[in-house]
Amino acid sequence: MSLRLENVSYIYGKGTTTETAALKNINLEIEKEEFVAIIGHTGSGKSTLIQHFNGLEKATEGNVYYNDKNIYDSDFNMKELRCRVGLVFQYPEHQLFEETVLKDVCFGPLNQGLSKEQAKERAIEALKLVGMREELYESSPFELSGGQKRRAAIAGVLAMEPDLLILDEPTAGLDPAGRDKILNQIKMLHERKKIGVILVSHSMEDVANYAQRIIVMNKGEVKYDDTPEKVFKNYRELERIGLAAPQITYIMHQLREDGLKVDEDIINLEQAKESILKSLGR
Ligand code: ADP
Ligand code: MG
């Protein structure tokens, strides 16, 4: 699986008075089995960008390639792409619509042409993967809590067995415990199922803990695209565009200024602990 965006620009309402350039000349390549995070201020183009990854929005300029095939070619199989590259929307309500959770999760596999039995098997496997309790399978998706709705929406995409799972702010509105649960489940999927993950997030902590690569969006452009350590090194510049480094990065910088010989570029608690113990000679 590979996805490539070449010189992609996107304009909302082209030719109208409300014309907005949401993406400006984006060049990106997403490799197999990566765990990538996309961060950026509200309105920086994150949601618009990910909707280009599975062809939901069509670039105003430029091209998108899936396994080196141009997805805008007339003979390109868009339905296949939408199964391989699964997108979970920011608001699960936009995605859930059936009477029961189980029916909702069966929808994708049925649409792929699987039999009822096969679809149900896939759905149950997906619901188990996201940790949905069995007694909720027959509930209406709309009666679920925020965290459970997210799980149902993620299961609906997983049931299609995608190679790449894209999640638009999957932890927004959840409490810290619910947030960690969802993120750990996603991490487990990435490790055990070898699924590629693209996580759009507002939380620098989440991003530092889970992603191998961070893409920073600013005003429709890619500002940084690098490892978390290298991206958060630019924390002054990140602040200028309304972002920040994880809190622990600031604490470690302060400790260095105060004379403790801890490493630079610390981005999570695990690294911080090791570095502090080492600097104390333990
Ligand atoms: P993000 O997800 O980073 O908050 P978006 O991709 O939603 O950013 O938005 C990028 C830009 O496009 C913003 O200026 C936003 O106001 C504009 N925009 C987003 N969706 C629409 C839309 N449906 N119609 C017009 N403008 C839009
Ligand atoms: Mg968004």
pLDDT tens for residues 121-133?
Answer: 999 999 998 989 9
Closest residue to atom 1 of ligand 1, CA basis: 43
pLDDT at 234 over 90: yes
Ligand 1 shell residues, CB under 6 Å? 12-13, 20, 22, 40, 42-48
pLDDT band of 264, cuts 50, 70, 90? confident
Q: pLDDT for 167-181, tens place per residue?
A: 999 988 888 888 888
Q: Label residue 200 by pLDDT band (50, 70, 90).
A: very high
Give the pLDDT of residue 177.
Answer: 86
Percent of residues, the chain, with pLDDT higher than 70: 100
Atom of ligand 1 nearest to the CA of 13: 25
Task: Summarize the confidence of residues 20-36 as an average pLDDT.
Answer: 97
Q: Could you please report the per-residue DSSP string of 95-150?
A: T--SSSHHHHHHHHHHHTT--HHHHHHHHHHHHHHTT--GGGTTS-GGGS-HHHHH
What's residue 173's pLDDT? 82
Task: Give residue 123's pLDDT.
Answer: 97
Q: What span, in angstroms and rounded, lies between the C-alpha atoms of 36 and 227?
A: 9
Distance in Å, CA 50 to ligand 2 centroid: 9
For the segment 5-15, the average pLDDT, to the nearest whole number, is 97
Residue 282, pLDDT score: 80
CA of 114 to the centre of ligand 1 (A): 36
Å from CA of 203 to ligand 1 middle: 19
- For residue range 67-81, list pLDDT tens digits in order: 999 999 999 999 999
Ligand 1 nearest-atom number relative to CA 217: 3
pLDDT at 179: 87
What is the reported pLDDT for 181? 87
Res 9: pLDDT: 98
Give the predicted TM-score (pTM) of the model. Answer: 0.94
Centre of ligand 2 to C-alpha 256, Å, is 36
232 neighbors 208 (Cβ within 8 angstroms): yes
Q: Per-residue confidence at 150, pLDDT binned at 50, 70, 90? A: very high
The neighbour count for residue 37, using CB atoms within 10 Å, is: 24
Pocket test for ligand 1, best of 20, 24, 41, 217 (most atoms within 8 A of CB): 20
Categorize the per-residue pLDDT at 96 as very low, low, confident or very high, splitting at 50, 70 and 90. Answer: very high
- Residue owning tokens 């199964």: 83
Q: How many angstroms does the Cα of residue 168 sit away from the middle of ligand 2? A: 7
**How many angstroms is it from 233 CA to the middle of ligand 1?**
28
- For residue 39, how far is its CA from the centre of ligand 2 (angstroms)? 10
Ligand 1 mutation pick, 9, 12, 202, max ligand atoms within 8 A of CB: 12
The strand pairing partners of 26, in sequence order, are 8
**Mean pLDDT rounded to a whole number for the chain:** 94
> Which residues are registered as beta bridge partners of 3?
30, 66
Contacts 24+ apart (CB under 8 A), 8-16: 8/52, 8/59, 8/61, 8/62, 8/63, 8/64, 9/59, 9/60, 9/61, 9/62, 10/45, 10/48, 10/52, 10/57, 10/59, 10/60, 11/60, 12/48, 14/60
Dist. CA 104–CA 150, nearest whole Å: 13
Which of 48, 60, 221, 223 has the most ligand 1 atoms within 8 A of CB, as the residue to mutate? 48
User: Which-ligand-closest: CA of 45?
Assistant: 1
Q: For residue 8, is pLDDT > 90?
A: yes
> Could you say which ligand is closest to the alpha carbon of residue 168?
2
Ligand 1 center to 262 CA (angstroms): 41
First to last CA, the chain: 45
**CB-proximal residues (5 Å) to ion ligand 2:** 46-47
